[in-house]
Amino acid sequence: MDMIILCFIIYTFLIIVDVIPIHKEKKVAEVWFYSFILLGTFIIHILYSLGVTIPSPAEPIKMMVESIMNIWS
């Protein structure tokens, strides 16, 4: 439970320090992109804090790179 509270505090700090100044500069695309990345990492951190096993993306990335290399060969 402490880890979840710490996640909320850290992500609130990140929003205040990073997202709000970008929003004030009227950079809409950057705000959306940053918010999307921030939300994704927030969800992963909360799931990890709750004990959910997060699968590694290493194998799908390896398969994707190998298939691209086979196309170029």
Task: Indicate the length of the chain as a whole number.
Answer: 73
Res 71 pLDDT > 70: yes
- Rounded to the nearest integer, the mean pLDDT of the chain is 91
Res 61 pLDDT > 90: yes
Domain ranges of the chain: 2-72
Q: Model-level pTM? A: 0.72
27-48 residue pLDDT tens: 999 999 999 999 999 999 999 9
Place of tokens 């990345």: 37
**For 56-65, b where at least 16 C-beta lie within 10 A, e where not — what string?**
eeeeeeeeee
Please check whether residue 7 is in contact with residue 17, taking contact to mean a CB–CB distance below 8 angstroms. no
CA contacts within 13 A on the Cβ side of 9: 6
Res 73 pLDDT > 80: no
**Interval 12-30 mean pLDDT:** 92
